Structure 1
Amino acid sequence: MAQSSRAWSARIELRGGGGEPVNLARTLLSHGVAELPPNVIASDGSSLESVLVAGGDAWRIRLVPDGAARATVQAPADSRIPPAAARRELLAQLRHMLRLDEDLSAFYVAAAVDPALEWITNGAGRMLRSPTVFEDVVKTICTTNCTWSATERMVGALVSELGQPAVGAPERRAFPTATAVADAPPEFYRDVARAGYRGAYLQSLGAAVAEGRLDLEVLRDPELPDDVVAERLLEIAGVGPYAMAHVMMLLGRYRRLILDSWTRPTYRRLSGRPRLTDKGIERAFRRYREFAGLAFWLTLTESWVTEAEPAVAESLATQAESAAAESLATQAESAAAENLATQADPAAAES
């Protein structure tokens, strides 16, 4: 753990479970739900700011690139330093969010010989996820049958009104607990979040999780078959085929394609086949087997990543220049201090 001018900082190695490279910007820009509160992602993918709960408190963190193969976690200087156990928990949450335990090397081998997906082998393909499955399910329900601005309003209200305030910055909040979601009155969902029919679904989901009647985190278990996970998700009120496929993707289960009112026409346009059916789309990605849904998503969203990369490179260069300037300034200060000490004690200089 390295001390800095900030309250605390630490480095994370950007390497996947199979030793494959992980590109931070390509991961942060992987999908729109990743940008919902409490996350704030720079438009060029050069940083992630969020509020995460660890050790019973909510902490502000900032994640930025530190060269090509690692990232630096930073916390604001005006925030109290988290206890050691909380720092370890925060780092574990960030590694989980970045999916650094996931092995995409087999997917990279297949993509390397596909001209349409060769670009992803330089560290793309990881879908930024939330610290908990509960958070991902709630956010996904808030994307169903509505505009993106409505999704932002609903999730924003959940965080700003129900989330735990961050240490040193009560205006920033973490994603709410299941108990907080369950205990919010119907008026909150109707008048503040304006969640419509989703309000009852969110409240009942929070109650089921808070009371222990539903364990969403167990769905991370890789031993569970895909069909079992899909069945359990579809049992949740508010989760239909689209939401199920979306949550499955965030769980690292990529066999199913997310087929909705945006993905279908987008792929038909990109492929030049305006009458292509769902089965036709699925056939086009069948060769990717357990990664079919991921290959489909990356085909649709390539421009999100590649169009931002010139700005990412410029941002990294600026960060490098700032770091170099700061280093030179520190060296100059040290030299000046040493010179003053020598002038004050000539005998020390002679010894």
Structure 2
Amino acid sequence: METGAIPLADVDGEFDLQATVESGQSYLWDRADGGMYDELNVHGGEEWYETVVPPLSGVTDERAVVRVRQTDGLLEWESTTDAVPILTHLLRLDDDLDAILEATPDDPLLERAYAAYPGMRLVRDPPFACLVSFICSAQMRVSRIHGMQLALAREFGDVVEMDGQAYHAFPTPEQLAARTEAELRELKLGYRAPYVQRTAEMVADGEAHPDEALGMAYEDARESLTRFVGVGDKVADCVLLFSLGYLEAVPLDTWIRTAIADYYPDCEQGGYATTSRAIREAFGGDYAGYTQTYVFHYLRAGRE
């Protein structure tokens, strides 16, 4: 096991680990104390979080167990390898959050949301696991979505050991493709089970991969992801924003549609694509996805 710490003074802008990983963006981390997603209004905690990271192009060639916590101006970590490049990638420590804040429109709701959770960043999850997570997200509370991903890892993923402790990796496309719909339904995936199984087959067989959206114009990338079974525009936007780095993406979920109805009624244009364009402009364009995530967490936590 390797250990280390990242001084947060070296990061451009503030950082809040708990708000970042428990704000409904990612379902691939777990909290060592078992309290993940137990509360809504989360920020500023010092708990340990852990995940198993697959090989990531340009980041790590090997699968790694990573544990991290924030305390006293540091991100302390334990890992089977050097975790600095992995954490920098997954938690977007390379974003200049100060510049992103400066680019945010002057708007009372946005100012309140950013002020409530200083240092919350977007995540950059592994693409396949992110895709499956949000296929499972339809009509589900975040705690249920998280529980599904833990169950998939526990039942069908590999066991990876670190310092005598066993951790469960999220299943590979091949591992999920080999499962039956009935087996997935036993994990409470319900009607999402065939979507997950067929999507895993598409990736395992080389028919399609979420990475293929990289480099496309934003709306073309969203269309590319809707090839996967069970993926509509909202799920595609989630994958673009929380995995593939399209920071302009604004998933039109329940909370953002509530924000549109209550604060930005002129942005309601009827269709998904036209409403998405309007709210992206209201949220600041290039970094609209950051604004979306703050507003989502702020409204979902009942801060307004």
Alignment of 1:184 onto 2:179: yes
Residues 210, 282 of structure 1: alpha-carbon distance in 2 compared, 3 angstrom cutoff: closer
- In the TM superposition, 1:166-205 aligns within 5 A as 166-167=160-161, 168-170=164-166, 172-190=167-185, 192-205=186-199
CA contact (8 A) 1:38 1:159 kept: no
Give the superposed CA RMSD: 3.4
Question: Residue 233 of structure 2: which of 216, 236, 241 is its match?
Answer: 241
Tell me by how many angstroms 1:173 deviates.
0.9
Question: Residue 231 of structure 1: which of 223, 226, 229 is its match?
Answer: 223
- Deviation digits for residues 18-71 of structure 1 (CA, Å, limit 9, x no counterpart): x33433344234x2242x355225854433422314676653x32112433x31
C-alpha distance in 2, partners of 1:97/1:306?
27
Question: Residue 268 of structure 2: which of 264, 278, 295 is its match?
Answer: 278
Q: Name the aligned partner's letter for residue 295 of structure 1.
A: T
Q: Counterpart of 2:119?
A: 124
Tell me by how many angstroms 1:277 deviates.
6.2
Question: Residue 76 of structure 2: which of 63, 72, 76 is its match?
Answer: 72
Residues 254, 33 of structure 1: alpha-carbon distance in 2 compared, 3 angstrom cutoff: closer
State the SS of the aligned residue for 2:104: helix
Unaligned runs of 5+ residues in structure 1 are 1-6, 76-81, 308-351
C-alpha distance in 2, partners of 1:16/1:145?
39
**What is the aligned residue count?**
277
- Deviation digits for residues 153-188 of structure 1 (CA, Å, limit 9, x no counterpart): 432321110122131233x31211111111123321
Alignment of 1:253 onto 2:246: yes
State the SS of the aligned residue for 2:46: coil
Q: Counterpart of 1:292?
A: 288
C-alpha distance in 2, partners of 1:257/1:150?
22
Q: Counterpart of 1:165?
A: 159
C-alpha distance in 1, partners of 2:182/2:229?
20
CA contact (8 A) 2:21 2:29 kept: no
Residues 286, 266 of structure 1: alpha-carbon distance in 2 compared, 3 angstrom cutoff: closer
Residues 16, 163 of structure 1: alpha-carbon distance in 2 compared, 3 angstrom cutoff: farther
Question: Residue 27 of structure 1: which of 7, 15, 20 is its match?
Answer: 20
Identify the structure with the greater helix proportion: 1
State the SS of the aligned residue for 1:117: helix
Alignment of 1:62 onto 2:67: yes
C-alpha distance in 2, partners of 1:140/1:134?
10
Alignment of 1:155 onto 2:159: no
C-alpha distance in 1, partners of 2:89/2:187?
28
Pair member with larger Rg: 1
Question: Residue 111 of structure 1: which of 79, 104, 107 is its match?
Answer: 104
C-alpha distance in 2, partners of 1:152/1:24?
17
CA contact (8 A) 2:16 2:120 kept: no
CA contact (8 A) 2:222 2:236 kept: yes
Unaligned runs of 5+ residues in structure 2 are 55-60, 270-274
Tell me by how many angstroms 1:296 deviates.
3.2
Q: Name the aligned partner's letter for residue 75 of structure 2.
A: A
Q: Counterpart of 2:57?
A: none
Tell me by how many angstroms 1:291 deviates.
2.1
C-alpha distance in 2, partners of 1:138/1:224?
21
Q: Name the aligned partner's letter for residue 64 of structure 1.
A: R
Tell me by how many angstroms 1:124 deviates.
3.1
Q: Counterpart of 1:325?
A: none
- In the TM superposition, 1:132-151 aligns within 5 A as 132-148=126-142, 150-151=144-145
Residues 57, 9 of structure 1: alpha-carbon distance in 2 compared, 3 angstrom cutoff: same
Q: Name the aligned partner's letter for residue 39 of structure 1.
A: D
Residues 290, 123 of structure 1: alpha-carbon distance in 2 compared, 3 angstrom cutoff: same
C-alpha distance in 1, partners of 2:140/2:299?
23
TM-score (norm 2): 0.75
Tell me by how many angstroms 1:248 deviates.
1.9
